[in-house]
Chains A and B, each alone.
Chain A
Amino acid sequence: MNRIIVFLSCICFSFSSFSQEDLLSFLNDDNENVLTFSIFKSTKIINLQSVEQTNKNELNFVISHRFGALNSGIENLYGLDYGSIRMSFDYGITDDITVGLARSSSYKVIDASVKGRLITQGKNNFPFTIAMYSAVFYDTLSSLLATEDMLKNDFSFTHQLMIARKVNSNLSLQISPSLTSYNFLSPYPWSLLVNEKMYSLGIGGRYKVSRSVSLNSEWIPIFMTNSNVIHPFKNKDFINSFSVGCDIETGGHVFQLFLTNSETMFERGFLNETLGSWKSGGVHFGFNISRPFNFN
């Protein structure tokens, strides 16, 4: 009997003294709700907006260039003689709402935008980050060219839904269904083709090759104009935007270097009005450089 008691008390006292590993497991809580961060390095994949937001009280200044087409010959140094520029300022009102103002030299367009993040991947185990982007474009040039000068004709709008997933720490993917509506059809070459309502589907992604460098690519087929369905490959009216490049992150700046067949840098333009053809070398070298300024 005494032996049994000694044995039992040994068991009991071994329970009473917890091991260090037991203590560690004691601290684990079950409702782990870890939000996914850094799905993309920058607020843009290449041309397309990414789900990333400008942080609260930060001003993100992005300066972008697209040089001329590679097929413009040695006399133009394969496009480097010519460049168009876009300057954009994005301000984070909260971590989930950004407002932006930008000006692009191609077609002399000023645009204002708002971008909001609706849900972040990982919240209640939700598999995607979803964000919305809306922009209004003001053509400062079109009123000079249009036959009927009405202010409302100078505006066009793009609305975009962005659904992204960080598949693993290196690979992130995003799709961006977009709608652009034109108040005017101005006398640019593409105006013969674009309609009042244009629908496109941006597909993009990034793959991190090192902790500071990632490879990015995006393809944006137009799939509907007004109510006509457009085949993404077999259509003669539209050229779909395709871009490939890399992000280089250097502490404060993100440099994005890429090749794209879209020369315009504002949403309405590269979604619907792409003119360059990869087959014939109508491809532009370009870069975006972003630098955030903190106002905390």
Chain B
Amino acid sequence: MKNYFLIFIMFLSVLSFSQEKFITRNGKVTFNASTPLEVIAPVNNYVSCILDTENGNLVFQLKMISFKFEKALMEEHFNEKYVESDKFPKSTFVGQIQNWDDFTWNGIEQDVVVKGKITMHGIEKEIIVKGVIETSKSTISLSSSFDIIILDFGIKIPRLVRDKISETVKVEVNVTLIQK
């Protein structure tokens, strides 16, 4: 009888893993590479994100081609000349929320530190960023803002347009996850 009970618990554990995952496919990532000469601030509203509340593992994925720019020509150059979207269509972040044990489902904002690897333009880079996590009845919202240096990802700005594009890019992330 005791054994049956244990087996039942085991099945429960297998069934329950899906309850621990929170997901979205409509997260928002913007970046800002503006200079006094040119406003470069595209938006990507189709960012996928998944959080495993079991351990704080956090993964983002986005298609570079989904960044929408104000000027179509800018968007074309972004995909064609800078991030080379046909060779490297996706960017990912794979990491973990560091102080995950402190996380509570209490509806107030909590500061978190996220550590992981960004992969973009075929180059992987370790990154540690600060973020804010907020819970509601059924959702978890994550937001963060951090700077990246695009040369770190092998993206060079031609000398001719060096005054127009910032080499340090401010990235903002906003996602609201719902239970899978």
A27 to B65, CA, bound (A): 17
Point out the residue from B3, B49, B80, B95 that lies within 8 Å of A211, measured CB to CB: B80
CB of A54 to closest CB in B, whole Å? 9
Bound CA–CA A58/B72 (angstroms): 9
**A18-B57 contact given A1-B3, A169-B86, CB 8 Å threshold:** yes
Closest residue of chain B to A25 (Cβ to Cβ) is B59
In the complex where A17-B55, A23-B52, A27-B48 touch, is A292 in contact with B73 (Cβ < 8 A)? yes
A-contact 0/1 string along B132-166, CB 8 Å cutoff: 00000000000000000000000000101100100
* A252 CA / B71 CA spacing, docked (Å): 11
Q: In the assembled complex, how far is the CB of residue B119 from the closest CB belonging to chain A, in whole angstroms?
A: 10
CB atoms of A37 and B70 under 8 A apart: no
| Cβ-based interface call for A12 (8 A) | yes
Known: A9-B6, A294-B71. A24 touches B87 (CB 8 A): no
Please tell me which one of the listed residues A27, A38, A249 contacts residue B79 in the complex, with CB atoms under 8 A apart: A38
The interface residues of chain A lying within 8 Å CB-to-CB of B106 are: none
- How many whole Å from A114's CB to the nearest CB in chain B? 19
> Which partner residue on chain B sits nearest A24 by CB separation?
B59
Given A26-B50, A296-B70: A20 and B158 interface contact (C-beta under 8 Å): no
Q: Tell whether A141 is near chain B: CB-to-CB under 8 Å.
A: no
Does B127 reach chain A (CB closer than 8 Å)? Answer: no
Q: How many Å lie between the Cα of A158 and that of B158 in the bound state?
A: 40
Q: How far is the CA of A23 from the CA of B55 in the complex (A)?
A: 12
Tell me, in angstroms, the Cα distance from A9 to B158 when the chains sit together.
57
A residues 189-208 near B (Cβ < 8 Å) are none
Q: When chains A and B are docked, how far (Å) is the Cα of A65 from the Cα of B10?
A: 78
The listed residue (A55, A58, A169, A296) touching B84 by CB distance below 8 A is A169
Which residues of chain B come closer than 8 Å to A292, judged between CB atoms? 72-73
Q: Quick one: which of A268-296 are within 8 Å of B by CB? A: 292, 294, 296
- Smallest CB–CB gap between A97 and chain B, Å? 14
Does A147 sit within 8 A of B, measured CB to CB? no
Does A9 contact B10, Cβ atoms closer than 8 Å?
yes
Within residues 11 to 29 of chain A, which ones have a CB less than 8 A from any CB in chain B?
12-13, 15-21, 23-24, 26-29
Interface centre among A15, A28, A37 (most CB of B within 10 A): A37
Q: Is there contact, CB below 8 Å, between A16 and B92?
A: no
B73 touches A55 (CB 8 A): yes
**Residues of B close to A73: CB separation below 8 A:** none
B21: A residues at CB distance < 8 A: 18, 23, 26
A37-B85, A56-B72, A211-B81 known; A27 and B50 CB under 8 Å? Answer: yes
Q: Which residues does chain A contribute within 8 Å of B72, judged by CB atoms?
A: 55-56, 58, 95, 292, 294
Q: How many residues of A contact B (CB 8 A)?
A: 39
| Residue in chain B with minimal CB distance to A250 | B160
B17 contacts A by Cβ under 8 Å: yes
In the assembled complex, the Cα of A251 lies from the Cα of B86 at a distance in Å of: 20
* Contact present for B14 and A24 (CB under 8 Å): no
Is A8 an interface residue, CB under 8 A from the partner?
A: yes
What is the CA–CA distance of A120 and B177 in the complex, to the nearest angstrom? 33
Whether B96 is near chain A, meaning CB under 8 Å from some CB there, is: yes
Given the contacts A18-B52, A27-B61, A13 and B81 also touching, CB distance less than 8 Å: no
- List, in ascending order, chain A residues with CB within 8 A of B9's CB: 9
Tell me, yes or no, whether A5 is within 8 Å of chain B by CB: yes
Any A CB within 8 A of the CB of B16: yes
Give per-residue flags for A24-45: 1 if the beta carbon is below 8 A from chain B beta carbons, else 0.
1011110000111110000000
Chain B residues with CB under 8 Å of chain A are 3, 6-7, 9-11, 13-14, 16-17, 20-21, 23, 25, 48-50, 52, 54-55, 57, 59, 61, 63, 65, 70-73, 76-77, 79-81, 84-87, 89, 92, 94-96, 116, 158, 160-161, 164
The 5 A-B residue pairs with the shortest CB-CB distance in the complex, in nearest-first order: A55-B72, A16-B17, A23-B59, A27-B48, A38-B80
Measured CB to CB, the residues of A under 8 A from B are 1, 5, 8-9, 12-13, 15-21, 23-24, 26-29, 34-38, 55-56, 58, 95, 166, 169, 211-212, 249-252, 292, 294, 296
- Interface pairs (13), CB distance under 8 Å: A5-B7, A16-B14, A18-B17, A23-B52, A26-B59, A27-B59, A29-B25, A35-B65, A37-B79, A38-B79, A56-B72, A169-B87, A251-B161
Apart from A24-B59, A250-B161, A252-B73: 8 A-B pairs, beta carbons within 8 A: A9-B6, A9-B9, A15-B17, A16-B20, A23-B52, A27-B25, A166-B86, A169-B86
